[in-house]
Amino acid sequence: NAGVMQNPRHLVRRRGQEARLRCSPMKGHSHVYWYRQLPEEGLKFMVYLQKENIIDESGMPKERFSAEFPKEGPSILRIQQVVRGDSAAYFCASSPRDREEAFFGQGTRLTVV
Amino acid sequence: QKEVEQNSGPLSVPEGAIASLNCTYSDRGSQSFFWYRQYSGKSPELIMFIYSNGDKEDGRFTAQLNKASQYVSLLIRDSQPSDSATYLCAFSNSGYALNFGKGTSLLVTP
């Protein structure tokens, strides 16, 4: 049973470009969460999604960031017009339902140059 | 503001000793508490979760929760060099969103 799969593992973007991060949850998991880990900072919750629904996006910046979890395919975290401050590790986690412990993917390390 | 406080360390213990990691939280509405281990450059790995006051044991790990004192700890018995990592404390009051501390760096010396 494969774990949470994220790709790419490393992503380099120039300022102003778009970054698309993908996350495939563990088999049987329908709940997906995105977290961001800035250098020297703790993990910060961004968004919680179920299939075709955003449940809670209270941790997501209001501009440039969006997330989706379509009926088919992986969850996508999209960052438009990236800035250097977006450089961080972005982790996806999944769980079979809420109120359950979540399992994390390997993360995507975004570097904005 | 929901805060989790951890001593950043590094906490250094000799191999075979007990490592004690501590965490305090500010949100009295917190329902669930978690300990994750994170090796450098890797993803967080769930070690333990605890919901009720008291102790919960799993192998060499024991989590202790005291909701009145807003305090949760993790004990690692018979520490091994492979336990050297950053340990992240997290809590949730929503049932899904985890609030993480910055982590405590543990170094187990041979």
Q: How far is A41 from chain B (nearest CA, A)?
A: 6
- Give the residue-averaged pLDDT of A14-35: 95
Contact between chains at A91 and B43 (C-beta distance less than 8 A):
yes
How many C-beta neighbours within 10 Å does residue A82 have?
Answer: 21
Band of pLDDT at residue A99, cut at 50, 70 and 90: low
Confidence band for B105, pLDDT divided at 50, 70 and 90? very high
pLDDT surpasses 60 at A6: yes
Mean pLDDT of B1-7: 80
Q: Quick one: tokens of A42? A: 């703790």
The pLDDT of residue B98 is above 60 = yes
Residue B30 CB neighbour total at 10 angstroms: 20
Question: What is the average pLDDT across A1-27?
Answer: 94
What average pLDDT does the structure give for chain B?
A: 92
* For chain B, percent of residues with pLDDT exceeding 70: 98
Tens-place pLDDT, residues A54-87: 999 999 999 999 999 999 999 999 999 999 999 9
Q: Which residue has the tokens 């993790």?
A: B74
Confidence label for B92 from pLDDT (cuts 50, 70 and 90) = confident
Residue A46: list chain B partners with CB under 8 A: none
> Do A104 and B44 lie within an 8 Å CB cutoff?
yes
- B78: which DSSP letter? S
The answer, yes or no, to whether residue B68 has pLDDT greater than 70, is yes
Q: What is the CA angle B25-B28-B32, rounded to 5?
A: 70
Considering only CA atoms, which of A97, A79, A99, A110 is closest in space to residue A25?
Answer: A97
Closest CA to B81 of B105, B43, B109: B109
Q: Residue A8: its pLDDT value, please?
A: 97
The chain A residues in contact with chain B (CB within 8 A) are: 31, 33, 35, 40-45, 48, 55-56, 58-59, 91, 95, 98-99, 101-107
Using the Cβ of B63 and the Cβ atoms of chain A, whether some distance falls under 8 Å is answered with no
- Residue A67 and residue B12: Cα distance in Å, rounded? 40
| Cβ-based contacts of A99 with chain B (< 8 Å) | 32, 95-96
Residue A100 has pLDDT above 90, yes or no: no
Closest listed residue to residue A79, CA positions, set A57, A60, A106, A51: A60
Return d(Cα B52, Cα A112) in angstroms, integer. Answer: 43
Mean pLDDT calculated for residue range B78-85: 97
pLDDT in tens, B26-50: 888 888 899 999 999 899 999 999 9
Compute the distance between CA of residue A28 and CA of residue A49 in angstroms, rounded to an integer: 15
